[in-house]
Amino acid sequence: MRGTQLKYNFESFEMSSIGIGIVGGGYMGKAHSVAFSAVAGVFQTALRPRLVTICAQTETNAERYRNAYGFEKATSNWKDLISDPAVEAIVIASPQHTHHDIAVAALNAGKPVLCEKPLGCSLEQSRSMVAAAKASGVANMVGFNYIRTPASQQIKKFLMEGRIGDVTWFRGEMTEDFFADPKVGGWRSQGIANGTMGDLAPHMINAAHTLMGPIDRLCASVETVHKIRDGLAVTNDDQAQMMCHFENGAQGHMFFSRVATGRKMGFAYEVHGTKGHIRFDQEDQNVLWLYTTEGPETERGFRKILTGPAHPDYLHFCQGPGHGTGYQDQIIIEAKDFLTSISENRIIWPSFEEGMEVNRIVTAAHDSSATKTWVNVKDY
């Protein structure tokens, strides 16, 4: 992970404790609440989180989450959460149209922020959030949790060590089927930021950046499969595909879909190199597959590697090889990274900058699809 020194005055915190405020108590709000409750015990972090305030849309829901997750206080006003001196770091787990205002206000108050992906609803919003983060000098991070599995961290190490030679090709997908039924509608079918390119694609684009580096140019096709849902016209996309060239010279292809029938957590990728091949599928997240051109042809083949204590971050959860980690553990690893960024006074990737870079690719892809042309990412 890349580290950049911050100007944040860590001495303002009590070294053994840090008050956490979380905006949003639903799917990701619960995941982050559990993660910050567990992280100090799992990783023995220098900072031990204290769940101070949970914020939800109504006082009733906020109080319900407070009681369920173990927070000290509840509120329906995120501004009150930010202004509370007992809240020393903030997690944004609310809908993405709320991210910008909450993050900017928190950063302006000098409080570190972990924001769920996507960073902003648009590239303009993300740029504004990055500017606020730079001006504040405090820790900031985006919630790209899938790339934090022990298997994906090990694959990154393999690539950095040249285990499969020079990389030549990347194929990635982020495919699910929660919207495969055209009768399903609601808020997810409205607004470009809630479409597949805004919701699912950022995870795989981030994975491509992590494993391959920056994208130089791309050509994309974005489409809506079911144009009417629940009696309303759909205003965003169901699936998209993208050809790309990376700055390191490798080519790539990515596919994103929320209508991929049968796919539940299709965060999957493969990397080809001059001396081998690596592949991974999140639906079997404790396994990575490695092929190398070593030895006689009659003995070559993919090697199934089960994750274990020798792989990054695994040992903190379990001493048994092959026993495996799960989705919640990814969020705990993310919480550890965020606390480390604060306690060590440095930026730990993926910061708001990476969130903005992902927004650049999403914006470029939409423009490429509209114009049916290749586009240069540097133009964005």
Contact by Cβ (8 Å): 346, 4:
yes
> CA 76 to CA 369: how far, in whole Å?
40
**Cα–Cα separations (whole angstroms), residue 91 to 105, 128, 227:** 13, 18, 34
CA-based Rg of the chain, rounded to a whole angstrom? 21
pLDDT at position 317 is 97
pLDDT of amino acid 104: 98
Beta bridge partners of 73: 53
Q: Which residues of 82-104 are buried (b: 16+ CB within 10 A; e: fewer)?
A: bebeebbbbbbbbebebbbebbb
Kindly give the parts of the chain with pLDDT less than 70.
1-15
Phi, psi of 89 (to 5 degrees): -150, 150
Taking the alpha carbons at both ends of the chain, their separation in whole angstroms is 25
Given this model, what pLDDT does residue 16 score?
Answer: 86
In the chain, CATH 3.40.50.720 sits at 3-146+335-349
The whole-angstrom distance between residue 153's C-alpha and the CA centroid of its chain comes to: 14
Among 339, 340, 334, 342, smallest CA distance to 6 is for 342
Query: Which is it for strands 167-175 and 251-257: parallel, antiparallel or unpaired?
Result: parallel
Strand partners, 256: 174, 240
Separation CA 55–CA 65 (nearest Å)? 8
Confidence (pLDDT) at 3: 45
Give the architecture (CATH level 2) of 150-323+359-371.
2-Layer Sandwich (3.30)
**Residue-by-residue DSSP string for 190-217:** SSGGGSHHHHTHHHHHHHHHHHH--EEE
β-pair partners for 267: 174
Only one residue has tokens 């927004």, namely 359
For residues 263, 264, 267, 270, the Cα torsion angle rounded to the nearest 10 degrees is -40
What is the chain's percent helix, strand, coil content, to nearest 5?
A: 40, 25, 35
CATH architecture, range 3-146+335-349 = 3-Layer(aba) Sandwich (3.40)
102 near 78, Cβ under 8 Å? yes
Burial class (CB in 10 A: 0-12, 13-18, 19+), 150: buried
C-beta of residue 102 within 8 angstroms of C-beta of residue 57: no
Scan for tokens 């001396």, then name that residue.
275
pTM of the model: 0.93
* Residue 113: both structure tokens together: 């922020």
> Of how many residues is the chain composed?
380
Q: Which residues fall within 8 angstroms of residue 48, CB to CB, at 6 or more apart?
A: 16, 17, 18, 40
Residue ranges of the chain assigned to CATH 3.30.360.10: 150-323+359-371
